[in-house]
Amino acid sequence: MILITGGAGYIGAHVALELMQQGDDVLILDNLCNSYRSTLDRIAALSGRRPGFIQGDVRNRGLLDTVFADYPIDAVVHCAGLKAVGESVREPLRYYDTNVGGTVTLCQAMAHAGVFNLLFSSSATVYGDCATMPIDETCATGQPTNPYGQSKLMAENVMQSMVCSDERWSVGLLRYFNPIGAHKSGLLGEAPTSTPNNLLPYLLQVASGQRAALSVFGRDYDTPDGTGVRDYIHVVDLAEGHVKALDALRTQRGVQIWNLGTGLGYSVLEVVRAFEKVSGVQVPLVFEGRRAGDIARCWANPEKALNELGWSARRSLDRMLADAWRWECHLHQEEATTLVS
């Protein structure tokens, strides 16, 4: 059985679905601080089975000890965490407590229970403002410009030290680039509980009429059209990467780091134009200054994951945007139905 912390969230839910579809038993632990219980129904509808669910906090050692004692868990995917950069600047202690403290508590409980296979949701933000593109795993980690990024790097360092001290561990640090998109059914996707910070969820809310315009942060970067360039990856490709990485953990020891990206970079304007093409909806834009802490360019060298896991991202940008739009329309319709009934 695989425990997914934060499994009711955007990425964890797609990982849960992918694992269940290939026959694994999944138990989700989530405190629902940034997700909805209804996500479990969506996973059940798509997989034909219900994942186990415990509503609880990953910082609660007593609860974790009970969970490991009660279920035959042999690996953990640790997605639980807080991820809003601006909020992390205002509430740094909450971010360090959850993202670093939560990881320490989870690792202590795992060691106590004799479970040593762990996959961690890390981020390309740990590379900081890397001078050379594409970024491969040998690039030094940089100086993340906000507490969120720092907390991800600190959590990675905690696990690196832990593995040096005890050779029973097998830990995979998955450095995600920019996950977007949704399940192709349109039934599972990202459901922000507050104003989104990231490009795609904000763009979707503009396109569906919930917000007036998309702010484009900076058009004077050293990029072909002056707007920021990122490596957007379909969330289902990302989830498939977790399945492959979990398989690899079962036969390796130590720490493995894998970038999960496509190796392709798209600018903000390229994303907007591609979205308009696949959806047929115009997106009003407002050009603004650069967002504090943003970097100009960031894309992965994904070869290590290909060579070591046999994994590569297969879904195109158009596919990511079409799937995301299908999900947004579904959510909108669901909300309208709930209001009417």
Catalytic residue positions, numbered: 148
Is 121 a binding residue for ligand UD1 by CB under 6 A? The answer is: no
**In angstroms, what is the C-alpha Rg of the chain?**
19
Cα–Cα distance measured from residue 15 to residue 223, given in angstroms and rounded to the nearest whole number: 33
Using the rule CB under 6 A, is 294 a contact of ligand UD1? yes
Q: Is 26:1 a contact under the CB 8 Å cutoff?
A: yes
From 210-218, 252-260, 306-314, 320-328, give the range in contact with ligand UD1 by CB under 6 A.
210-218
Touching ligand UD1, residues 84-103 (CB under 6 A): 85
Task: Tell which residue, 28, 19, 9, has the closest CA to residue 46.
Answer: 19
User: Which range touches ligand UD1 (CB under 6 A), out of 63-71, 133-141, 209-217, 309-317?
Assistant: 209-217
Q: Does 159 bind ligand UD1 (CB under 6 A)?
A: no
Helices then strands, counting H and E runs in the chain, come out as 12, 14
User: Binder to ligand UD1 among 197, 270, 329, 330 (CB under 6 A)?
Assistant: 197
Nearest approach, Cβ of residue 88 and ligand UD1 (Å): 9
Per DSSP bridges, beta strands 232-234 and 229-230 are unpaired
**Binding partner of 228, given ligand NAD, ligand UD1, none, CB within 5-8 angstroms per partner class:** ligand UD1
Looking at 103, 117, 123, 267, which residue binds ligand NAD (CB under 6 A)? 123
Q: How far is the CB of 320 from ligand NAD (least distance, A)?
A: 13
Nearest to 334 by CA among 191, 183, 179: 191
Q: Judged by CB under 6 A, which of 6, 241, 261, 302 binds ligand NAD?
A: 6
Smallest separation (angstroms) from ligand NAD to the CB of 176: 4
- Which C-beta is closer to ligand NAD: that of 60 or that of 226? 60
Give which of ligand NAD, ligand UD1, none residue 81 binds (C-beta under 5 to 8 Å, depending on kind): ligand NAD
* Distances, alpha carbon 117 to alpha carbons 3, 5, 159, 219, 300, in Å: 11, 14, 12, 44, 25
**290: DSSP letter:** P
Interface pick for ligand UD1 out of 5, 35, 178, 312 (rule CB under 6 A): 178
Which of 14, 83, 242, 326 touches ligand UD1 (CB under 6 A)?
A: 83
User: Does residue number 216 form part of the binding site for ligand UD1 (CB under 6 A)?
Assistant: yes
The number of beta carbons lying within 10 Å of the beta carbon of residue 222 is 8
Exposure class string for 255-274: b at 16+ Cβ within 10 A, else e: bbbbbbbbbbbbbbbbbbeb
* Residue 149 sits in the site that holds ligand NAD (CB under 6 A): no
User: Residue 31, interface with ligand NAD (CB under 6 A)?
Assistant: yes
- Are the beta carbons of 152 and 257 closer than 8 angstroms? no
Each residue of 286-320: b (16+ CB within 10 Å) or e? eeeeeeeeebbbbbbbbebbeeebebbbebebebb
Nearer to ligand NAD among residue 186 and residue 189 (C-beta): 189
- φ, ψ of residue 255 in degrees (nearest 5): -105, 130
Under 8 Å between Cβ of 118 and 242: no
Which residues lie near ligand UD1 (CB under 6 A)? 83, 85, 123, 125, 148-149, 178, 197-199, 202, 214-217, 228, 230, 268, 291, 293-294
Which residues lie near ligand NAD (CB under 6 A)? 5-6, 8-12, 30-35, 57-59, 79-83, 98, 102, 121, 123, 176, 178-179
